[in-house]
Amino acid sequence: MSLSSSKLEKIQKLCLEGSHRRAVDMAIPPKGPVRGALVHAMLTGLAGSLGPGEWTDDEHLRTALKRAFVDNGGRGFSQRELFESKEAMLGLGITIPVPTTAVAWRKPSTPTRIAAHEVTTIINRKAVVDQTNLAKLIVGALEGTPGSSRDVATLVWGCGRLGVASSKDISMILWGWAKMGNKALEEGGGKDEADDTVVIWCIEKLTKMYCGLSGIELTNVIWALARLRVYNTIFTLLLNQAVLDVSLELSPTSVSSVVWASGARMSTIGELPTAEVMKSLHHLAISSILSMDPPCIASTIWGLGALGILLNEGNVLPYQPLTAIEDSIQDFDMDNMKSILQYTWTDPSVTACLAPELIRRFEASSSSSSSSIPPWCRSIAEICLYMSRGALQSPKELAEVIQLYLDKVELDLSHMAPVDAARLVAAFSNLSYIPSHHTLSFLINLADLEVSRFFPNTYCMYTIALAQLNQAGHRVPLCEADLTIDQSCSLIWASAILDIQGIDQVIRRLLQASVLLPSLPFARQAIAGLWARGMKDEAERLIGAYATGSLTEATDTSSSSSSSLHLDISQTLRSMGYSNIKDEIELCGVYKADVVIPDLRIVIECDGDVHHLYSNDTGDSETLIGSSVIRDKVFNKAGWHVIRVSIKAWRKCRTSNDKQALLRRLLAQFRT
């Protein structure tokens, strides 16, 4: 509805002429929407032309103003128009209350939206509630043309807060409170007593009438209780009823809500449903997931993952969830992708499906306008981390598009949390990629602001990532939380490269632990870290606590190129006259050296792509990854010289003479 400039001009003219009744009738008609601009023009005009006087006692004027401000609740006004109208009335001596918050009209307006505005206006003004009239308005709204989910949520949240709904509406009240209540309270500046009051009131009602709830009402309540983190007896009763009652027909959306709520309880307080309920949940989810919309697919997969019943043997997804992901891949938002990847990144089929889509979205940042770039959100850091852990065809390609994206949205990164910066550092580390100096410095500086307050798992993830990125000498404060013995081992390993404050006390605690020993993978880390720090006696003492040979790393059969390389090197050395050559010999209790020449105390390590980091700034892969740096330090501290032969350099040798020449050149620096 456009505002006629001629109507404004007529009102201003009437005000100048002193025709206050005609100006009021034109600005505030007895029916239809109130236009704030017209009311504002009328009040400011009359205040300027007539000023205070007997005319302000006119009952017709006061009735019209009451309709414009009290009954209307601030709708149709801008904030400026409300403020200036209030000032004008104060100057005229008119004491009609004016709302503090403007509510703009939005057309077409549904009955639900109008009722929602009415409820929020009453709450904002803290006015006395006419429960009879309000109840009629709400009933008319819910039975009329349906509004948006936000309007419905706002309405039922307000009803719950005002206490005007009957017990049979309990599921909608809880749903609306969960959907809108927390956000409204946060915006209000803190926790409100009404929060607990409404939830307690709803639960009291539920204990008396939960058996009569329909399927949709049940799932609304279960979802709302989970959203509000109320995992009490009534939650369990409702969950069991929804899943085990065969007379209830749950829609795919309802199934998704129940599965998500069950997973949320497990994730929050560690409580699983009964085995019977778990079995039914899995059956309901798998059988209906192909009929769900994308957000419900993501919620269902996350819920099953949190319950530990998502993946089959071999950590792979069943056919139905994988098909659902493939069919909806372009419709998932970033939050959906994060929910899916959290429990499925171990399945190569999932990463093979989602990685190209993620790359496509990130690539838009370098070729499209800024409006089409995915806006920064917390889910992006977690997506990058989960994806970097999975099996990828081209890790470097993913790392490069993440770098491009971060460059493009740099201004938005001011909202990034330190923990998200740590996740991105870990993602680049997993992808064996050193981002630009500017990006890496920004991420590290941001993460370091709160690194000591990270959860232990996140803290260890970050320190390991820094070590793998070979950030030698970077100072990291000790974690304020208590570390497990396995986490302490990871920290000792990383301290071979980083300057971790307080690492000496971590080492002492580990060596004094006589009852609980670290698990084998972490014991290997600790021993390597101790060796690399020059603590031979301490390393050997820890080795002695384990069975002989149990700590030695298994032979890596995944890289056939590296394996064939060290065999080729052994044969070439023998052809050069080195008879005392040993292959895959255990050294320092934890490592198997690829090729050893005992007489010369030389270890030859065969380097593949996994041993180096690609640098964005230099455009090459010459930087050794942290694990290889520590490995070299261990061998050096044990009195061995380390020679590294890369696959790329070896492949350039076309003849046996070329190979021998390469080895002679490398060996020459250590021969006496």
CATH number at residue 660: 3.40.960.10
For 578, residues 6+ apart whose C-beta sits below 8 A from its C-beta are 597
> Does 645 fall in a domain?
yes
- Positive or negative, the CA dihedral 481, 483, 488, 490 is negative
Last residue of one domain, picked from the residues 76, 92, 108: 92
Residue 164: the pLDDT is 64
> Does 637 fall in a domain?
yes
- Cα angle for residues 271, 274, 279 (degrees, 5° grid): 115
* Separation CA 80–CA 274 (nearest Å): 58
**Max Cα–Cα distance, the chain, nearest Å:** 120
Structural domain count of the chain: 2
* Separation CA 88–CA 20 (nearest Å): 14
User: How do strand 641-646 and strand 602-607 relate by DSSP bridges?
Assistant: parallel
Residue 450: the pLDDT is 95
Last residue of one domain, picked from the residues 65, 92, 119: 92
**8 A C-beta contact, residue 478 and residue 501:** yes
Residue 267: the pLDDT is 93
- Sites in the chain below the pLDDT cut of 50: 1-3, 108, 167, 181-195, 370, 557-560
For 671, residues 6+ apart whose C-beta sits below 8 A from its C-beta are 600
Query: What is the per-residue DSSP string for 66-109?
Result: HIIIIITTTBT--HHHHHHHHHHHHHHT------SS-B---SSP
> Does 457 fall in a domain?
no
> Does 50 fall in a domain?
yes
> Does 652 fall in a domain?
yes
Backbone angles phi, psi at 73, to 5 degrees: 70, 25
In eight-state DSSP terms, residue 30 is: S
In Å, what is the CA distance from 219 to each residue of 227, 257, 445?
12, 6, 45
Residue 579: the pLDDT is 85
Distance of CA 90 to the CA centre of its chain: 50
Instruction: Identify the domain containing residue 65 by its residue range.
Output: 5-92
> Does 439 fall in a domain?
no
Tokens (6 digits) for 330? 């372009």
For 434, residues 6+ apart whose C-beta sits below 8 A from its C-beta are 428, 440, 469, 613, 614, 615, 616, 617, 623
**Hey, is 614 helix, strand or coil?**
strand
Which residues are 612's β-sheet partners?
A: 624
Of 331, 293, 289, which Cα lies nearest the Cα of 310?
289
Q: Is 189 exposed, middle or buried (0-12, 13-18, 19+ CB in 10 A)?
A: exposed
> Does 139 fall in a domain?
no
Last residue of one domain, picked from the residues 92, 111, 136: 92
pLDDT digits (tens, 9 = 90+) for 305-333: 999 999 888 788 999 999 999 999 999 99
Residue 125: the pLDDT is 63
Query: What is the per-residue DSSP string for 245-310?
Result: -TT----HHHHHHHHHHHHHHHHHH-----HHHHHHHHHHHHHHGGGS-HHHHHHHHHHHHHHT-S
> Does 57 fall in a domain?
yes
**8 A C-beta contact, residue 623 and residue 469:** no
